[in-house]
Every structure is written in structure tokens, then in C-alpha cells.
Chain A
Amino acid sequence: MSQSTKLPLYITLATFVLAFVLCAAQYPAMASTRVVANLLTDNAFLGITAVGMTFVILSGGIDLSVGSVIAFTGVFLAVILRDTSIHPLVAFALVLLITTGFGAAMGGIIHYLEMPPFIVTLAGMFLMRGLAYVLSTESVPITHEFYDWLQSLYWKAPGGGRFRLTGALMLLTYVAAMIVLHRTRFGQNVYAIGGSAQTAQLMGVPRARTTIGIYAVSGGLAGLAGIVYTLYTSAGYSLATVGVELDAIAAVVIGGTLLSGGSGFVAGTFFGILIMGLIQTYIVFDGTLSSWWTKIVIGGLLFAFIMLQKGLGWATTARIRLLTASDARS
């Protein structure tokens, strides 16, 4: 990877560190283990979703269904644990199977019917939200001792911060995604398709398998995020997580991944998530700003990063032109 592809990642990282230092300077309580632990716990489901979204966007696609998949997962788990006596672990496996299969099906439609991902996943979004409503329109509480046990797993740091299982699960997901993207053939294929689908085809990249795999990963991770969300709220609610797909996309772009695909890192997405969480925390700490400022700041950041991507794109083309020109001369 050349320097210019890593530059957005460094900028995201610098933005986060700078923002954290500024926040901590104004509110010393923000530099506490509580806030750090909250950033991980509160953003766990969004963070996991954003990993799947990074895969999709790296391949030049988009997945609008993830928010609905999270809600469906929550309601499905809540209803199945209420009405049957199966163990939550079995229910987890079942729901992950459903969501991964759902993602794979969307990937198959996108590839074989040559449909735009935007339309296919939009349909998926309505489908999953609708299914969640059919299962239950009310918020269904989850009461199971296994859930209580999972929720009791946390490490209480000095200063009162609670590092919970879900936060650790999110970190694990990021590590696993890094390994898959940079150390496996599948990961290389994701980058190749995103760079240029035609070139990838000529290079012998199995496009069908890769596209299906990408959306399966996104669907499966949205399912995992749904499980994390049920641990977060101990309930399944069909109206939950509306618009989370857009937050995930925003985090990916702020993290420096090119919306056109082919370039970016999951590590960037991680800091994108943390930046968004930090803005929300700051607004609550301030207590007088309207919470809609979160959206305004994220909008501003998105715009800045898109401009940055565009600028880098121009710089790279200019340099290539310069290089080819000098090659031709020599």
C-alpha cells in the first residue's frame, strides 16, 4: 500500500486524538475509564455493523439493509426465547445462519441479476423491517439467566469504567476483519473488485463467489450486531436501530474508505466510530447543545473527508500523468 492510500487513515486517527484531547481539556471527566468504556460498549453494535459495511464499500457496493437486520435479529431472538425453551446459544446460531443467508441471497441477486446494490439492499431493508413488525410490534423483553450471565461479564477498571463483553466482541471483530482483508485471498479479492470489477474479472478473481461472500459477511455481522444489541437493551423491538445503516456508512467514510471502493482500512472505520461516539459524548457533557448537532458535525466531517478523497484522487492522477510523461520522454 502506498502512502497516499494510508493518508486518510492517519488523518482520521489524528482527528480522533485531537478531538479527544480537546474534549478532555474542556471536561476533565472525559479522560476517565468510564468514558472510554462507554465508547466501546455504547458503540459495539454500530462498530460491528460498520465492519461489514467496510467490506461492502471496499467492494464498491452499499448495504442499506443492516439496520433492519439488527432490528429483526433482536425481535427474532426475543420472540424465540419467550415462546420456546431453546438455549440462547442455539438461537444465536440460528439467527446468524438466517442473516448470513439473507446477505448471501442479496449478494447473489446483485451479481447474477446485475442489479444495483442500492436497490437490492433497499428491498432487503423493507423486507427485514417488515418481518420484524410481523413478529411483534411491541418491545419484547428478554429474560434468560444466560443473558444475565453474559451481561454480568465485565471488567471494572479503576475509575469506575466497565469494559463489557460486547465491547471486547467488537474489538475481536475488527482484528478478525483485518486478518481476513489483508491476509487472505478473499480479502484481496474484495479490494480487487472494488478497484475495478473488469480488471478483477480479467485477473481471474471469482466475482460471483466474492460478491456473495461480501454481502454474506455484511448480513452475518449485522446479525452479530443484533445479538449485541439485545445484550445492550435486554429486549427486541421492531422500531429499534432505524437509520443505523447510514451511521455505519458515515463511519466507514470518515474512516477513510473510498466510497467508490478499492481503498480503505477497517482500522479507519474503528476510529470513525469512535469519533462519532465522542461527538455524542461531548454534546451530552455540554448539556445545552441540541443533540441534533451530532448530525451536523458528522455531516461536516463527511463532507470534509469526501473532499479529502477527491483531492487525493486528483493528486494521484496528476502524479501518474507526470510519471508516465517522464517515462515517455526517457
Chain B
Amino acid sequence: MNILKSLLASAAILVPAVAMAEGETIGFSQIGSESGWRAAETTVTKQQAEERGYDLKFADAQQKQENQIKAIRSFVAQGVDAILLAPVVATGWEEVLEEAKDADIPVILLDRNIDAPEDLYMTAVTSDQVHEGMVAGNWLVEAVGDAECPVVELQGTTGSSPAISRKKGFEEAIAAADNISITRSQTGDFTRAQGKVVMESFLKSEGGENICALYAHNDDMAVGAIQAIKEAGLKPGEDIKIVSIDSVPDIHLAMKAGEANATVELTPNMAGPAFDVLEAYWKDGTMPPKWIQTESKLYTSDDDNAAIYESKKDLGY
């Protein structure tokens, strides 16, 4: 106990020296690296920080909230200029975010939102998953024109929020088009293997000639489905149009080969908009809105998919 006392005493004398000479220091508490997209988000955040000359302190929480809380506390103790947080769960952030607020360190949420009073964070940068589904639906409406078009749908994991939202958005987009209807819809669990299996069953039960388009809630399932369509002796991208979401490198390869038609990007660049907000705030104190929606960009086979593949393949997907 004596040691603790003397530590406290010495700590009280040593006033924390936190002043940084140049280049802002930013702490980034990431959930982990559970998916390819998450790994890409980490890579892009590091790249963005380097481009702008920030000193990025990166902490991987290994999927544990306690590690994220510890990391944020350490960032505060270190006196960073801003904190980026990709929260692993929505609850339980009040106490630690209050400490950050108390130390006048802005916190920006990436990719997910939290259940906490809005004054505890500066803004949240997330995508709008309903909008993503809508972009995919709108593309299909335009692509088929007036032709009759029965659609099969590969859903994400049952009950997961991206699956619910992406389904909702797509349905809203095709609601006005009487010639487009969803004939079959099943979960492919966001995986390549399940996407293939479920597509095989669609082809058997409906018959390949009765399917005009496939809508998959993510690219991985679409890639699996392409395989199934090929094995059934049909041409993916021509006989059956394929639209999916995420824009992972492999779907761009498929689009280059003419085997897929369109994908909606879930951008891994959440840090870019966050850094823009911080720069504006540091410059003249501009407070951003509480929600910044990332762009859900549509890529089709008209784009230079080879180049997109090259630019994405090293991000860690």
C-alpha cells in the first residue's frame, strides 16, 4: 500500500505533459478484425490518418467492451486530440464518454451507433442500410425497364439488422414497379457456401428460365450464387441479372468477367468523413450534425472493375 501512496504522491507532482508539438494525435478503438470489411476499415483509417499527417493510436479490442473502455481511458490519460470509436455493443458507454467529454476530447462513432445521450459524442458516421437496399432496387428497376422480372432474394442472417434493413429498402424501391416481384426469398447467412446452396434450390424449384434477377444482401452470397448458376448451365449476369451489396474485391472481379451486374458499396472509409468533421471543428469550431451518412455508391459493369479490384484487393478484405 505504501507503494501506491508514494506513486500517487509522485503522480500528483508530475503534472501530465501532453502537449504535442505538431500533428494531431487521434486514438482509434476498433472492435476487432472479425470480418474482411472490418479489416479494410482499419486499413483505410490508418491510410487516411497517414495522408493527413495524424499520429494514429490504434487499439484492437478483440471483440471485448472492457478492452474498448480501457483503451478510451488510456487515450484520455494520454491526452489525444480526438477519439474514434467503433462500438462493439450499443450500451454502457456513458461513464467513459463523460470522462472524455470532461477532458474536452471529441469522440466520433464509426459504423455503429450507441444508446447514450447525444451530447456525449460529436457525431456518428454510419451507412444507411435501408438506403443501400434502395439503391440496389432502383438499379434493377432501371435495368429491366418494362420487361416482366421475377426476382429471387438471398437474405442475410435471419433477424440481423443489415438483413432487415436491406430487405426493406429493396422492397420499397421495387414497390412501384408492377413488373418486378420477389418470388423467393431465403437466408444465405451472409456466407458464400450458403449463398451457393440456396441458389441451387432456387434454380431447382423455380427453373432457371423463370428467374430474371438475383438480389443478394451481400457480395459473398452473390459470388456463391454465381457458381451455382454456372453449374446449372446458365450465364450469370446475362440470363440472370445479379445485384448485391458491399463492393468487396471479388464481386468486382465477377463484374469484370460479366458475371455480375451491380453492387452497392458499404464504404470502409468511415474515418475520412470523421477526419473532415474534426478538421472543420479544429479550424473554426463548426459542430457537425449528429449523424453523417456515408455514401452508398453504386458500381455497375460499366465501371472500370479491374481498376477497382486492384485498389481494393490489398485493404484486407
Contacts and interface: CB of A to CB of B under 8 A. Distances in A.
Interface of A: 13, 17, 20, 27-36, 38, 41-42, 45, 139-141, 151, 157-162, 229, 232-235, 237, 240-242, 277, 280-281, 283-288, 290-292
A234 B77 contact: no
Contacts of B94: 234
Given A232-B95, A242-B64, A280-B67, 14 more contacts: A28-B14, A34-B76, A36-B7, A38-B74, A151-B95, A159-B11, A159-B12, A232-B66, A234-B92, A237-B91, A240-B64, A285-B78, A291-B60, A292-B62
Contacts, number: 131
B11 A32 contact: yes
Main secondary structure of the interface of A (DSSP, over half): helix
A34 B78 CA distance: 9
A291 B67 contact: yes
A306 B11 CA distance: 33
A35 B77 contact: yes
A212 B149 CA distance: 70
Contacts of B56: 287
Contacts of A30: 77
Contact of B73 (A42, A159, A229): A42
Size class of B's contact patch? 35 or more
Contacts of A288: 57-58
Contacts of B12: 33, 157-159
Given A29-B79, A33-B8, A291-B60, A38 B70 contact: yes
Contacts of A291: 59-62, 67
Given A36-B11, A139-B89, A157-B12, A233 B69 contact: yes
Most chain A CB within 10 A, of B7, B57, B103, is at B7
A33 B70 CA distance: 15
Most chain A CB within 10 A, of B8, B77, B94, B103, is at B77
A292 B32 CA distance: 11
Most chain A CB within 10 A, of B65, B70, B74, B115, is at B74
A23 B165 CA distance: 47
Contact of A287 (B8, B17, B55, B62): B55
A32 B92 contact: no
A162 B62 contact: no
Nearest to A290: B60
25 contacts: A13-B3, A20-B7, A28-B16, A29-B77, A32-B15, A33-B8, A34-B73, A34-B76, A34-B77, A36-B4, A41-B73, A42-B70, A139-B92, A160-B16, A234-B91, A241-B66, A280-B70, A280-B74, A281-B74, A284-B27, A284-B75, A284-B78, A287-B59, A288-B57, A288-B58
